Structure 1
Amino acid sequence: MKTSLPLGVIAAALIVGAAWAGVLGAIHLAGAASPIDRLETTLLDARIGWVGRRPPPDDVAIVVIDDPTITAVGRYPLDRGTLADIVDRIRLSGARALAIDMLLVGETDPEADAALADALARFPAVIAAAAQFEIGEGAAGAVPAPGDTLTPLSKLAAAANTALVNVAADAGGTPRHVPMVFDTSSGPMPSIVLRAYGLYTGEMPPLTASGLRLGSGELPLDIGWHLPLNYYGPGKTITTISALEILREPAPVEGLSGKLVMLGVTATGVGDRFTTPFDPILPGVEVLATGVANLLDGSSLRRNETIRRIDVTAAVVITLAGMAAVAFLPLAVGSAVAAILLFAWLAVISMAFSHVFWLNGALPIVASVPAVAALTVLRQVFDRRSMRRMAMAQDALGRFQSAKISRRIAEDPGFLLEPREQQAAILFIDLAGYTGLSERIGARSTRDLLKSFHTIVVEEAERRNGLVMDFMGDGVMVGFGIPDGNPGDAANAVAAAFTMLSAVRHRLVTDDVVRGIEAVRVGVHYGAVVLSRLGHEGHQQIATTGDCVNVASRLLDIARSREAAVALSADVVRAAVSGGVILSPQPPLDTIAIRGRRQPVDVALWSVAEAERQAERLVL
């Protein structure tokens, strides 16, 4: 179906759709939080579930202060002398570096504080500081700028490196990024993830314009130097050892040699907990360990400004392509194309995710679905309006051309481009005395007379599946078997000849106003006709021509000369009998010469009275 939308409306809709996608894209490029993020986290978790669990690198291990540790020690927080013992045992087990996800603020027992400081000084270690943000600060799209920071006891900070443990979570509370650097009041401060990686590798990786310089390569980061996290699996997927095991083992603990150890708290009711795609409650130390592991094995999700630009481009292209589809294609096809575009994009982002590229699935959906849906509704409104106009036009056309012919041409615009020969019955009916009557009653009354006459003829013809082919003043031509023939055409034509004559006489000729009508005559013949389009290329009509039409017309002259009301050719009588119409009594056939025709025609004639009686029998 051709679009009913004006090109100006389509152009305006496309501009609005592009602007809508552009606004959403600008928000996405800025990394600002938006309602789209909730849908994206759902799609992201689906991709993570599709990829499934992944083996973490062997370089990272987690030591946790869990419920058994606190039960055995008998207190929480653990005194710093016990923490010093744990740190020493981790060092003696061969760990290469240590990151402590615990806020060691304030002074406790001086000897215990000193013991912990000494333990940290003997070992490449980093201890946690925490950034404090005002509500609305610290979004993933910019370098976090905390209002304040909680720093460790100065004695401990002097013995080890200090770094921030904050992560960037989505609207559902799932950590999705770890900022690599924070813009604090005292200057830039690294994340504990970045500092731990530097201690483990022996070199602090420098920040570049869009990522981290790792060895000879560069790891791209998201806006504001945020590391997108790529989780390995549920809790304890990364090697996890209880601190109680560390305290109980007299010898170095197996599984820590040569590794970066993350030390944190997982005891019930203590420490931070996060929801992740694999685990409803994952300790914060495991989230941080995931970030360090991502840096070490290079498996962090790839999402940077370039990826975001691809997201925006896809959103704009899918929106405009989907809108163009529903604007120019049949509506069902266009809607399917728009849906296929979205599903294709979802397939693309799924395949990209298997290669750690985080393309946005929500942005093209939110950009295109409202725009395509709005244009679909708009087109439906225009389509309905156009269909109403077409129906009105077809109805109006049907008043000038037969409804059968109008529908046929509407269904098949090529109908009768080539002439077609077929069998049909042709009926002519006219009024005798019309000329004198029209002079007497005037033009307006003559028009009313003709309208009444034509109405009767049309009604009687359509009752018998006849088709009025032409109105000729006081004469009418009716075809039976046009545009498509059937075995009962002749029978219908013969029956209509008598009932039509009777109806005209009783409903029109007996009216006092039109007493000038002297008689009604009907002629019917059956034979071959040619259906074709006649006229100019830009102004045509469906015409029925051939000897059958000429003979039927001449039968009116025969009826007039013989003072008969109905003249039927022998051909139509025989065909009518075959179709089930029995004429009783049937007058004898007269062989009559037809003016302008070499062959005479056998004709049966009925007077007015005989025709009226025949009509009564046919109606019964």
Structure 2
Amino acid sequence: MKSTVPRWIVALAFVSGLAWSGYLAQRHLAGTASVLDRFETVLLDLRIVLTGERKSPENVTIVAIDDQTVSIVGKYPLTRSQLAELVGKIEAAGARALAIDILLFGASDSAGDAALAKEFESLPVVIAAAGHSGNMTSSASFVPTVASILSPTPEIADAAEVGLANVVTDTGGTPRHIPLLFLTDGGLQPSFSLKALELYSNKTPIFTETGLRTGNRDQVLDAGWHLALNFYGPGGTIRTVSAERLLSDDTPDLTGQIVVLGVTATGVGDRFGTPFDPVMPGAEVQATGIANLLDGTALARNDTIRLADGAAAIAVTVLSLVAVAFLPLAPAFVFYIILLACWLFAGFLFFGQSQWLNGALPFAASLPPVVGLLVTRQIFDRFHSRRLLQAQSALSRFQSPRLATRIAEDPDFLANPREQDAAMLFIDLSGYTGLSEQLGPVRTRDFLKTFHTIVVDVADKTGGVVLDFMGDGAMLGFGVPDASETDPVNAVRCAFQLESTISGWLQGSNVADHISAVRVGAHFGKVVLSRLGHDRQQQITTTGDCVNVASRLLEVAKSHEASIAFSVDLLDAVASRSGNRMPTPRLETVSIRGRQQDLQVALWRPGEFPAVPVRVSGYS
């Protein structure tokens, strides 16, 4: 159905859609946190789960202070002397660097601190510190500001590097980003994972406008130099060794490894939910960040990717509005769903290449304007359909319902005449003039109304269209407005049913003495279907030799005292399309007034009909 929405409403929908999608795209490009992030994390988790577990780097190992370790040691936390022993074992196992995800703050025995500091002399070590900021549960935007830092004791901090171990979680508590830089009173401070990368690679990472360069490798970062975490799998996916093994001298091979020393014991340390695990120790989250930096598989979402997200949001909005404005509603809705599905599929494909496309942004950008225009169009279309039905109902009183429907749906119907095959049928009553004189105007009107009703009912049942009423006669067309293979057969059926039904009605009424005969003439051939009349007042009609011949067959029937007169052309058409030639009681070759060529005509009197037609009852 063609859209009935006024152009100014469509224009308003486009302007509103562009403004809304552009606004969301601008906020997304700026990295501003919003409620939209909640929906995006759901789609992100879906992509992570569908992609499945990934192999973690072989050069990252977690040494976990787990339940077995606490059980062997007998208490938690471990003393600084025990930690010193554990660090020594890690260094002896061949570790290349050590990242301690334990907050070593607060007073301790000086001997233990000294022993731990001494162990740091033979191994590059970074120790975790915790920064306190106003908000660490938002999406990545700018470099986070840290108001205060919970640092290791000075003696230990002086013997090793220190990095802030804060992570950015979403509203559900899932870690999404690790800021690589923090703004403190003393200037920019590196993160725990960034320092671990520097110690392990023995190269100073260089920040670029869009990411981080380590040697010849560039890692794309999110806004504010946030590392977007790309999890490898559930807990234990990254190689994990119990600290109990090292303390028991069952030393694993840690050659060339960067070791993350952290706590995984029950009820101790921080815990996070991830797409793979409801509970993952903070040490494994930090190890994931370090591993992402080492293998370069952190999720990439720089300004270019965010710009692509915004462009997709605007494109989906505009294309969907075009579809809703100009296509039928069902295909338009399907087109909209396909656009969104294609974007989600593209997001899944790019996610396999560690590219984070925003799946929720096109939804949020397009849904309000598209749904708004969709509802508005439905309202206007229903109003238009109601008006169309009213117009069609009114028009049907003056035109055949089939023609009325076509005219109502297509006002330009038959703006240009067209030629086609059709069967034309005429009917009239003999003796009507004298009857109307005796009945008077009111009873004559009632008589004609019943007669015309029978004609319309029989025509409808047999696939015909009443084109015109002419007092006691009518003109019917078969193949109007559209031709069909059954038109000739339908015309023959209609002729017999009309003669039989009207004769039966007349015999049961009080006018049988006045109406002496019912006559029907029908012919098949080419007709011209067109509009006739003035530009402001027109009538759909058929013209041509076929119409003239069918009309003249009424005179032939009268002169031969027959009720029905069919041209042989009509009977030939019936035979060719039905496969059966109709038996005829009488064939005559006659001349047609106004026509040079003679015509063969088949004639029937009452009682000679080939079969008893279906009667249309209810007329008296």
Asked if Structure 1 and Structure 2 have the same fold, meaning a TM-score greater than 0.5 normalized by the shorter chain, the answer is yes
Gaps of 5+ in 1: 511-517, 560-565, 576-590, 607-614
Q: Is residue 461 from structure 1 mapped to residue 464 from structure 2 by the alignment?
A: no
Tell me which moved more, 597-606 or 141-150: 597-606
Aligned to 2:111: 111
Contact 2:531 2:540 in 1 (8 A): yes
What CA distance in whole angstroms lies between the structure 2 residues aligned with 1:60 and 1:427? 98
SS at structure 1 position matched to 2:262: strand
Report the CA distance between 1:228 and its aligned residue: 0.9
What CA distance in whole angstroms lies between the structure 1 residues aligned with 2:595 and 2:204? 114
Report the CA distance between 1:11 and its aligned residue: 2.2
What CA distance in whole angstroms lies between the structure 2 residues aligned with 1:422 and 1:248? 103
Distance 1:224 1:494, change over 3 A: same
Q: Is residue 542 from structure 1 mapped to residue 548 from structure 2 by the alignment?
A: no
Aligned to 2:583: none
What CA distance in whole angstroms lies between the structure 2 residues aligned with 1:142 and 1:461? 83
Deviation digits for residues 368-408 of structure 1 (CA, Å, limit 9, x no counterpart): 34443333333333322222222222222222212244357
Distance 1:271 1:470, change over 3 A: same
Aligned to 1:582: none
Report the CA distance between 1:217 and its aligned residue: 4.4
Q: Is residue 396 from structure 1 mapped to residue 394 from structure 2 by the alignment?
A: yes
Aligned to 2:484: none
Residue identity in the other structure for 1:336: V
Contact 1:63 1:243 in 2 (8 A): yes
Identity %: 41
Contact 2:203 2:214 in 1 (8 A): no
Deviation digits for residues 78-132 of structure 1 (CA, Å, limit 9, x no counterpart): 1111111212222233322221111111112122222222223443212111112
What CA distance in whole angstroms lies between the structure 1 residues aligned with 2:590 and 2:79? 134
What CA distance in whole angstroms lies between the structure 2 residues aligned with 1:567 and 1:133? 107
Q: Is residue 498 from structure 1 mapped to residue 492 from structure 2 by the alignment?
A: no
What CA distance in whole angstroms lies between the structure 2 residues aligned with 1:118 and 1:373? 67
Distance 1:569 1:129, change over 3 A: closer
What CA distance in whole angstroms lies between the structure 2 residues aligned with 1:36 and 1:345? 17
Residue identity in the other structure for 2:458: R
Aligned to 1:330: 328
Distance 1:429 1:195, change over 3 A: same
Deviation digits for residues 134-186 of structure 1 (CA, Å, limit 9, x no counterpart): 35776522211133221111222222222111111122222111100111233
What CA distance in whole angstroms lies between the structure 2 residues aligned with 1:61 and 1:317? 45
Aligned to 1:532: 528
Contact 1:314 1:364 in 2 (8 A): yes
Deviation digits for residues 511-532 of structure 1 (CA, Å, limit 9, x no counterpart): xxxxxxx989865444457643
Aligned to 2:474: 477
Distance 1:121 1:501, change over 3 A: same
What CA distance in whole angstroms lies between the structure 2 residues aligned with 1:461 and 1:249? 109
Aligned to 1:579: none
SS at structure 2 position matched to 1:313: helix
What CA distance in whole angstroms lies between the structure 2 residues aligned with 1:520 and 1:176? 97
Report the CA distance between 1:37 and its aligned residue: 2.5
Matches within 5 A, 1:288-327: 288-327=286-325
Tell me which moved more, 476-485 or 75-84: 476-485
Q: Is residue 269 from structure 1 mapped to residue 267 from structure 2 by the alignment?
A: yes
Aligned to 1:581: none
Deviation digits for residues 295-341 of structure 1 (CA, Å, limit 9, x no counterpart): 11212111112111111111111122122223222222222222221
Aligned to 2:187: 187
Residue identity in the other structure for 1:542: T
Residue identity in the other structure for 2:554: A
RMSD, matched Cα: 4.2
Of the two, which has the highest radius of gyration? Answer: 1
Deviation digits for residues 520-572 of structure 1 (CA, Å, limit 9, x no counterpart): 9865444457643245596452236223313426989x89xxxxxx9846769
Contact 2:97 2:199 in 1 (8 A): yes
Q: Is residue 428 from structure 1 mapped to residue 428 from structure 2 by the alignment?
A: yes
SS at structure 2 position matched to 1:129: strand
Contact 2:552 2:593 in 1 (8 A): no
Distance 1:553 1:366, change over 3 A: farther
Distance 1:96 1:6, change over 3 A: same
Aligned to 1:584: none
Contact 1:460 1:500 in 2 (8 A): no
Residue identity in the other structure for 1:477: A
Gaps of 5+ in 2: 481-486, 572-588, 607-614
Contact 1:424 1:526 in 2 (8 A): yes
Contact 1:56 1:232 in 2 (8 A): yes
Aligned to 1:376: 374
Report the CA distance between 1:347 and its aligned residue: 1.8
What CA distance in whole angstroms lies between the structure 2 residues aligned with 1:327 and 1:158? 69
Report the CA distance between 1:272 and its aligned residue: 0.8
Contact 1:165 1:192 in 2 (8 A): yes
Report the CA distance between 1:33 and its aligned residue: 3.1
Aligned to 2:362: 364
Distance 1:325 1:408, change over 3 A: closer
Aligned to 1:280: 278
Contact 2:301 2:356 in 1 (8 A): yes
Aligned to 2:580: none
Contact 1:17 1:371 in 2 (8 A): yes
Aligned to 2:30: 30
Tell me which moved more, 288-297 or 15-24: 15-24
What CA distance in whole angstroms lies between the structure 1 residues aligned with 2:422 and 2:434? 35
Report the CA distance between 1:435 and its aligned residue: 10
The one of 536, 551, 554 equivalent to 1:552 is: 554
Matches within 5 A, 1:605-620: none
Aligned to 1:50: 50
The one of 489, 493, 497 equivalent to 2:494 is: 489
What CA distance in whole angstroms lies between the structure 1 residues aligned with 2:595 and 2:181? 108
Contact 1:97 1:123 in 2 (8 A): yes
SS at structure 1 position matched to 2:237: coil
Deviation digits for residues 412-438 of structure 1 (CA, Å, limit 9, x no counterpart): 967995444555542124853799999
Aligned to 1:612: none
What CA distance in whole angstroms lies between the structure 2 residues aligned with 1:482 and 1:72? 98
What CA distance in whole angstroms lies between the structure 1 residues aligned with 2:11 and 2:31? 30
Deviation digits for residues 476-522 of structure 1 (CA, Å, limit 9, x no counterpart): 4243867534332332232355356578966xx99xxxxxxx98986
Residue identity in the other structure for 1:153: T
What CA distance in whole angstroms lies between the structure 1 residues aligned with 2:223 and 2:247? 42
Tell me which moved more, 196-205 or 497-506: 497-506
Contact 2:179 2:226 in 1 (8 A): yes
Contact 1:461 1:496 in 2 (8 A): no
Residue identity in the other structure for 1:21: S
Residue identity in the other structure for 2:354: V
Tell me which moved more, 48-57 or 142-151: 48-57
What CA distance in whole angstroms lies between the structure 2 residues aligned with 1:195 and 1:569? 106
What CA distance in whole angstroms lies between the structure 2 residues aligned with 1:48 and 1:602? 82
Tell me which moved more, 322-331 or 495-504: 495-504
SS at structure 1 position matched to 2:88: helix
Contact 1:528 1:547 in 2 (8 A): no
Contact 2:528 2:542 in 1 (8 A): yes
Aligned to 2:231: 231
What CA distance in whole angstroms lies between the structure 1 residues aligned with 2:422 and 2:376? 47
Contact 1:137 1:145 in 2 (8 A): no
Deviation digits for residues 255-307 of structure 1 (CA, Å, limit 9, x no counterpart): 22222221111111101111222222211111111111111121211111211
Contact 2:418 2:530 in 1 (8 A): no
Contact 1:427 1:497 in 2 (8 A): no
Residue identity in the other structure for 1:338: Y
Output the TM-score relative to the length of structure 2. Answer: 0.80
Tell me which moved more, 330-339 or 175-184: 330-339
What CA distance in whole angstroms lies between the structure 1 residues aligned with 2:26 and 2:602? 90
What CA distance in whole angstroms lies between the structure 1 residues aligned with 2:420 and 2:132? 90
